[in-house]
Structure 1
Amino acid sequence: MRPSTPSILMQIQPTIQKFARMLSSVLQLEVEIVDNALYRVAGTGVFGKKIGHRLNENSQLLRHIIETKAEKVVTHSRFDPLCKDCSNKDKCEEKAFLGTPVIYHDQCVGVISLVALTREQQERINANIQEFSDYVRHVSTIFVSRFLQDQAAGENIQKIFLTMIENMDQGVLVVGNDQKVKFANRMALKIMGANPESLIGKMLYFQPLTFKSNLKHGHMQHIISFDDRKELIIGQLHAVQDQWLFLMAFHQSHSSANFSSVQEGPQIEAMIGECRPMRQLKKLISRVAPSPSSVMLFGESGTGKEVVARAIHKLSERQAKPFIAINCAAIPDQLLESELFGYVKGAFTGASANGKTGLIQAANNGTLFLDEIGDMPLTLQAKLLRAIESREIQPVGASHPVPVNIRIISATNQNLEQCIAEGKFREDLFYRLNVIPLRLPPLRERQEDIEMLIHYFLHLHTRRLDLVYPGVAIEVIDFLRRYRWPGNIRELSNLMEYLVNVVPSGEIIDMSLLPPNLVSSNEVIGLSPSRTTATAEYQEESVTALEEMERQMIHGALSRYSNKKQAADELGIGIATLYRKIKKYELA
């Protein structure tokens, strides 16, 4: 039964709901705020439903905070003693919880809780317990002194919002819809090498370097432009009411690359790279995509030939029609003909009773991508040539041809001219397919793109595997720039997937985490085989020496200050970072 008089928190519910959304955006966690009668006052995500309704009996954590007037932290929900009698324990989606009482006249008038529903959010709470606790405790005090004593809270909530992000050890920018910078905390200014006078009020533009539709959220590399400067910053861009919030990653690459030419030429989705060969390739693709002429892609294995083929299709007038891909080397010769041309009922023993539509016919009015075209048998090459010239196909066992309208994009990593000389590939088919030849550069010719691709795949795999986004040491980036990448893009993607699995949560990928066979490989440009191992050993020794120096500095600061915030200030790091380092070096 709803009380006749609303609680003091419920009386200012719209303001508290606005605050909850801001808090959730900054901390990247779900927020739930209840009053002392367990009525939900505000919330985000799943907690944004049933505002004004009383919570059910499964609210032991919130009841405990209200009764004890004490903060409660649960790093692994369901295993806490307070969760023992919860009837919903087995179905609970909460992974971690941090709840803080709101005290007014020595009474608990409500609870502000931060909730983790994903593994990444759980890691975020576990790694920042003290910092988040300080934030919310501070906010709770402000609720009392500002909100509950002054109903004109619109201006106050903005002050709280800015006070909170000013003290984060994560860089934060607030930009209005007019593209002007409204706020930048001290860490953002440090990362960008700017001061408030040179940034606040200036026009600022974000350009994500990876803009595939499923990569709009999460950590990405952005080129941030203001005045005549361009900075490459890794972070997340969020729309919050009438402004943009840019949360910078804890670890930045500090790239020295020149991005002045990034906006030149077309930007083609999923084709990541801004080096000269890639810009030239993108220009060519944008020119030839509208044409119906056949395209042949030449490139080593793993250079992304199918990605380019799909980009051509998407930029063509056939984009709404089918894109059918087939790997000629992956299908046995005896099955390839029926796969490409299809067959009619009873065409041969074992054929489907209903017949089968071939891939060429399935691609009608669209695009057919023939990968590894050099492995197609000579008999099928002749049949494919007839299909291209006559614009019709004859399924196996059929008595009448079927008209088709397709554009063919083929790809190979072989020297087809040599295959022609050896009688393995038809010259007339080669000239039919090779109307527009495009060469894809191997990764070893794209050193300028390595860093961009590293972060592209880090984002891709951390999102897919629900892991925390790691930093990358500059030594690792330099090493990977010198590596020759015999497996090209595919090898780089596999390496990044390996690294996100082995790097400790929230830490930096350093040389010690690279696979030994990669570090000792002969595929490193500018290093002899004998020097490669020696360099790896030297780098490992250097990392160990730096860690010992860091451990001693932190130990010294902790011995001088009993207050960890003062120790963090002396070391020039945030309080959350200090707690991570204390845990790493076992200094507690």
Structure 2
Amino acid sequence: MPTVLKRIQPAVIKYAQIIEQVTRVDVEIVDTRLDRIAGTGIKNTNISKSMANEGRIYNYVLQTGETCYIDNPKENELCRYCSQKEECHELTELAMPITLGEERIGVIGLICFNQAAQARVAANVTAYREFTKTIADFISTKAYEYQESLRTKQTMDVLNEVISHVAEGVLLLRQDGRVQGANTSAVNQLPGIELLGHTVTIKETGDTILDQKEYAISANDRTIVCYGEMITIDSPLAGYDHIFLFNNLKNVKSSIYQLTNLDQEQGVSQIIGQADNMRQLKKQIRKVADSSSTVLITGESGVGKGLIARVIHSEGARKDKPFVSVNCGAIPDTLLESELFGYVKGAFTGADPRGKIGKFEMADKGTIFLDEIGDMPLYLQVKLLSVLQDRKLSRIGSNQIIDIDVRVIAATNKDLVTLIRENKFRRDLYYRLNVIPLLIPPLRERKEDIPALIQLLLKKYSRLFSRSTMTMEPHTLQILKEYSWPGNVRELENTIEFMVNMSDSGVLTTQCLPENIRHYHDAGLPSDHPAEEETAQAGNEGIVKLKDLEKEAILHALSVCGETMEGKQEAAKRLGIGIATLYRKLEKYR
């Protein structure tokens, strides 16, 4: 690792040149490794090379902190054992330490190679000492400034790392509004606004909510209202002048909606559905809610497996105890084990020095919900099986056995039996999980529930967007009832949110429908036909251009997966294209 003088070498070289210009004596400056950092005259060679073989005097100065004035080279005690003594041409040397606090960080050497220089130094030793001491102090100050700037930079690096992990949106801004940094939450909350490297306008509106100021963020002819705080940073090393912490209007109002719990029913009554298959599901939930047996919830993506898990918990005897949810498909394999079972201090490189409690321990006496269980790696399935059998676990890096009392609810949209045949899921774990199987029917198999779901969602998003409760014209409702909803309730919710945003009045019409649903209806296609069969089913008069099919497939995928960054990544995955390709095509189609 470079020494402090090596890090500020250009400045040290300038100070050496100043000393030489004033004293007309050759100058050499070395660091604590006895590497030559700067030199003038005869010493202006081998810069950055080690002077250890001829640096006995410098080494003595570094060890003692004393200034040495030697006017009898070769005869001086410090020169007696020097290996370069016979080749030495120095007549006089003045060596002075450079200190930083209590630490010696280098040595300045003034060296005379001719009698004229020797005579000048001899006649003015005190003045030469004082001048050299002043330059040594200048170098020390420069070194201190460098170390302080390094410490500040390290602090800012830590701050930036923390910022990237906070849940609020964070923008790092220059005085002119140019965005120097943005965390993932900020990108997700400001769709359609280019951030990093671009300039945004942020103005207070004068309103407040939950004691937070309201701001309007504008760029690219788009304005998004948010609530937060602008913090001024007084550090030139930060690279930015302000930190803006915020949540957009939707997130803030959504939190209020959840906190106030307006008109929100609890237990099985939360489940909207009067279709026969949903009535049967509700009966099953009521029967198993008080049990401690493991439940396996299956169903397509978007049917509401998480809601069913919470309902089972809230209906049962453990409703006042913790409900801990873990998405096994969203956490990297390398982190999932520590998330589930925790670890002790020093268990692995990068671990929290205080250790960490796992999700199973957090759910003790309550319920743990293992979503996307089909994505759990095989090596973790073994440990999970052991926990399910014995209701005991040990944290990573520990031999201590911990007893747990937890109910397990697992969920997946995959066919676990097929995964077993493919050796991707353990048969014994499947039987441990599948004690009480619950199958959630897809929305296309309970279409009579669609009007009630739409009514609930209209009420939610009308309140969320500060509008009077909206209604839907009958023809539009019929179109939605006929659609097959491959994304199930999640797609339906995204669709209603989209329509409320697009509406100019209190009534949702066909003009508010997403393009993919309107396309299916206008083309006269049965809504439950797979996308890959559309052209064949349409007949000659219903032939659709390939670019339109591509556009429709992309927009449909987004309506199912959502417009968030994670949603777009999932959409790209399902479409079989890269995320960069998806963004490029979106620019063309929007």
TM-score when normalising by structure 2: 0.45
Question: Which one scores higher on RCO, CA 8 angstroms, separation ≥ 6?
Answer: 1
